[in-house]
Amino acid sequence: MTQDPMAEIRASFFVECEELLERLQDALTAIEAGDHDPETINVVFRAVHSIKGGAGAFALLPLVAFAHRFETVLDALRSGQMQPSPEAIKRFFQAADLMQDHVRAARDGTAGPANADEVLQALEALAGPPAEKPLAEVAEFQPLALVLDLDADPGIADSAEPQTAWQVFFAPHAALYATGNEPLHLLRALSALGTVETRCAYPAAPDLIDLDPEAAWLAWQITLAGEVGVDDIREVFDFVEGVCALEIGPAGGTNACTPGGQTETTQPRPAALHLPAAEAAPARASGPPPQPTLAAKAAESATVRVDLERIDRLVNLVGELVINQAMLAQSVAEAGLAPSSAVANGLEAFMMLTRDLQDSVMMIRAQPVKPLFQRMARIVREASAAIGKEVRLHPEGEATEVDKTVIERLADPLTHMVRNAVDHGLETPEARQRAGKPREGLVTLRAMHRAGRVLIEVEDDGAGINRAKVREIAISRGLIAADAVLSNAEIDALLFLPGFSTATTVSALSGRGVGMDVVRQAIQSLGGRVTITSDPGLGSKFSISLPLTLAVLDGMVVQVAGQKLVVPLSSILETAALTQDDIRALGPQTHVISVRGAIVPLYDLGTELGFRQPRSSYDGSIVLFCVLDNGSSAALAVDAILEQRQVVIKGLQKAYGHIPGVAAATILGDGQIALILDPADLVRSATGHTRAIALALAG
C-alpha cells in the first residue's frame, strides 16, 4: 500500500473530473449546435452526476451542493420540462464553467466562485419549479454515502465513481480470546476503513450454567462500504489468523457461512447495501478479489496515468542517450573503421533505434490542444459577456498534438491573444451591422502542423488593425520617429513593443498591464515566434509558430569563424556554394544574392554574431537559404557545413534570458558546446553588413 491511499484516490478523482468536464463541454457544444439527442443531454447529466458522486465521497460539500442544483436543472432538460433555448444554453455553459471553478477550488482548497448562486438561480428560473427531487437527496450525499446513492439510482449508474462493498464474516475461536485478542478492536479497525453495517450472529445461547465463559460462540457479519481493497481488510485480521474463521467477499452475496440457529433478534436488519442480484455470487477470500473500479476503468479506456515527472525523466534520459550515441559515433569515426565493419553497421542500427525511441518518447509527451482550446472557449464567453459583444469561437484542428509543456506554457499568452481579439479585434455588434457583417463576431482558433513546427492562429473577422492609429500612438509614445517610413508589416509589429497599448481607455479585459510584448516574450521563451497579418475591414490574424518539442531538433552543424553552430533543419530551405557572380552590392555595406531570378538579402553569420569583420569576398563560401516568419527568405553565409544531426536542446533562457538570434545550446558529439541559432530572430536584429569598409585599412 502506498503511504496515503486517500490522497491518491483524491488526486485521481480530480483527474477524472477534468475528463468529465471536458465531456460536459463537448456535449454542451453539441447541444448548442442543435444536437438535441436525448443521449447528448444524458452525457451532460452524467458528467455532472459523476462529479457530484465523487465529490460526495470526499465530502467536498460546496461542490456537491452546486452539482446537485445544476443536476436538478439538467434533469428538467432531460425530462423535456425545459427547452434548450439559446439563453438556457448560455447559462449551462456558465454553470459548466463555474463547476470547473468549484472543482479546482475543491482540489486546491481555495474558496469557490462567488457568482455561482446567481447563475444557478437564473437556470432554476428557466427550468421552472423543480420536479420532486427533494433535499433528501442532498442529505444522502453526506460523506461516505456515495455508494448508497449510486445504487439508489440505477438508471444512471456510472462506473466512473469508485465504489466497493465487502462482506466480511468473522467468527472467533476460543483460542482468539485465550491469546488475549479482542474482537472489539478488530471491529473498530474495520469501521475505520469505511462505512460498516455490523450484524452480530449468535446462536441460541446455552444455559448460563452450562456456559463456558471463555468459549467462543459469537460471530459477526460485516458489510463494509468504501474504497477498500481486500488486502486492507486482511490486514486488520493479521494477528488473529488461525484463531478465527474469516471469509471476505464482495457484498451482495448471501453468505453461506452464517451459522444457523440465529435468534430472531439477529435476523437481518435492513442492510444499507443490497447490490443487484446479478452480483450475488459469493466470492471467497481465497479467490481472486475483485479490484476496485479504478482498475476496471483503466482496462476500459486502455490508458495509464503516469506522473509527468517520470516522463520528463525518461525524456531527459533519452536526450542523454542521443548525446552519448553522437559521441560514440564520433569515436568510431575517429578510430578509422571501415564503413562496412561490424561496429559501423551496429552503430547505424543503434542510431535508428535511438531515433525511434526518441520519437516514441516524444509521442508520450504530445497531447491534443483540445483542452487548451476549451479553456479559450470559456475566455471568449466571459470576455464577450463582459463587454457586451456577441462572439462565437470556432476551433479548428483540436486534435493537433503538441508537447505537454508547450501546451501548458501556451495557456497564458493564448488567453491574452484571445481576449485581445474579442476586446480590440472585433467591432461592436452595431458597428458590424453597419459594415454589413453579421452581428456575431467570429474568432477562429486554429492549430496545425506545418514544416516540423506547430502553428497556432488566433483570427478574428473584425475591423483589422487601424494602422494610422497604431502609428500615431507609437509616435506619441516616442517609439518611432514622426517621419519614420514603415511598411504595413512593420507598423503591425509595433504592437509587440513594450509599453504599447491601443486601448486608449484601459478596459477590464485587456488592461491588465500585460501587453503583446509579454505575449511575444512568452512565445519566444518556448522557442516560438508570433506574427501578425491584418486586412483592414476583414480582420486580423496572430500566428504563433512553435517547435514540436522542446527537447530535440534536427540541425545542421556549420562552421563560422572557427566556431561550430547549429541551424535548425526545419528553417533551412536549401544550401548553395557562392560565386562572386551571384552577389550584388546594395548600398555601401550590404549585399544581395540573386538566386534563380529572386533577390535574397545576404547576411554574414560571423559578422552578425560578432565573431569577425565583414569579409572582402564571399567567393566560394557556403550560404544557407533560410525561411523567415513572413514567408520571405534570407541567405546566411557560413564557412563550411560540417554535418547534419539530431541535437538535444539545452535551454539558455534561464541563465541568460533572450539572446537575439540564439534559440538554445547543445552538446555535440565531441563534448563541445554549440549554439543553436534562430535564423528568423537573427535576421530581425541583423545589421546586414556584409561589405568590409576599406577606409579603416587604407587609413
Site of interaction with another protein (CB under 8 A) = 172, 177-178, 180, 182-184, 187-188, 191, 197-200, 202, 204-209, 211, 213-214, 216-218, 220, 222, 263, 265
Identify the residue whose cell numbers are 480582420.
539
**What is the closest distance, in whole angstroms, from the C-beta atom of residue 186 to another protein in the complex?**
9
DSSP letter string over 179-237?
A: TT--HHHHHHHHHTTSEEEEEEE-BPPPPTTT--TT----EEEEEEESS--HHHHHHHT
**What is the closest distance, in whole angstroms, from the C-beta atom of residue 165 to another protein in the complex?**
16
Pairing of strands 453-460, 401-403: unpaired
**What is the closest distance, in whole angstroms, from the C-beta atom of residue 50 to another protein in the complex?**
33
**What is the closest distance, in whole angstroms, from the C-beta atom of residue 153 to another protein in the complex?**
28
Q: For 260, how many CA atoms within 13 A lie in the half-sphere containing its CB?
A: 0
Q: Among residues 223 and 420, whose Cβ is nearest to another protein?
A: 223
User: What's 231-287 look like in SS3?
Assistant: HHHHHHCHHHCCCEEEEEEECCCCCCCCCCCECHHHCCCCCCCCCCHHHCCCCCCCC
Q: Among residues 271 and 484, whose Cβ is nearest to another protein?
A: 271
| Rounded (5°) CA angle 600-602-606 | 155
**What is the closest distance, in whole angstroms, from the C-beta atom of residue 370 to another protein in the complex?**
50
**What is the closest distance, in whole angstroms, from the C-beta atom of residue 225 to another protein in the complex?**
15
Is residue 379 within 8 A of residue 415, CB to CB? The reply is yes
Q: For 342, how many CA atoms within 13 A lie in the half-sphere containing its CB?
A: 0
Q: Among residues 14 and 166, whose Cβ is nearest to another protein?
A: 166
Q: Among residues 261 and 562, whose Cβ is nearest to another protein?
A: 261
Q: Among residues 210 and 483, whose Cβ is nearest to another protein?
A: 210
**What is the closest distance, in whole angstroms, from the C-beta atom of residue 136 to another protein in the complex?**
24
Q: Quote the CA–CA distance of 598 and 633 in Å, as a whole number.
A: 10
**What is the closest distance, in whole angstroms, from the C-beta atom of residue 228 to another protein in the complex?**
17
**What is the closest distance, in whole angstroms, from the C-beta atom of residue 106 to another protein in the complex?**
31
Give helix 38-57 / helix 61-78 axis angle, nearest 10°: 160
**What is the closest distance, in whole angstroms, from the C-beta atom of residue 250 to another protein in the complex?**
20
Q: Among residues 178 and 280, whose Cβ is nearest to another protein?
A: 178
Main-chain dihedrals φ then ψ at residue 44, nearest 5 degrees: -60, -50
Q: Quote the CA–CA distance of 524 and 545 in Å, as a whole number.
A: 10
Q: Quote the CA–CA distance of 151 and 157 in Å, as a whole number.
A: 7
**What is the closest distance, in whole angstroms, from the C-beta atom of residue 211 to another protein in the complex?**
6
Q: Quote the CA–CA distance of 304 and 313 in Å, as a whole number.
A: 17
**What is the closest distance, in whole angstroms, from the C-beta atom of residue 248 to another protein in the complex?**
17
Length of the chain: 699
b (16+ CB within 10 A) / e for 572-601: beebeebeeebbeeeeeebbbbebeeeebb
Q: Among residues 245 and 295, whose Cβ is nearest to another protein?
A: 245
* Contacting residues for 249 by C-beta, under 8 A, at least 6 apart: 166, 167, 255, 282, 283, 284, 285
Q: Among residues 167 and 545, whose Cβ is nearest to another protein?
A: 167
Q: Quote the CA–CA distance of 542 and 522 in Å, as a whole number.
A: 14
Q: Among residues 269 and 596, whose Cβ is nearest to another protein?
A: 269
Give helix 404-420 / helix 516-525 axis angle, nearest 10°: 170
3-state secondary structure of 529: strand
Q: Among residues 181 and 466, whose Cβ is nearest to another protein?
A: 181
In this structure, what C-alpha cell is assigned to residue 16?
Answer: 477524472
Q: Among residues 177 and 611, whose Cβ is nearest to another protein?
A: 177
Q: Among residues 204 and 349, whose Cβ is nearest to another protein?
A: 204
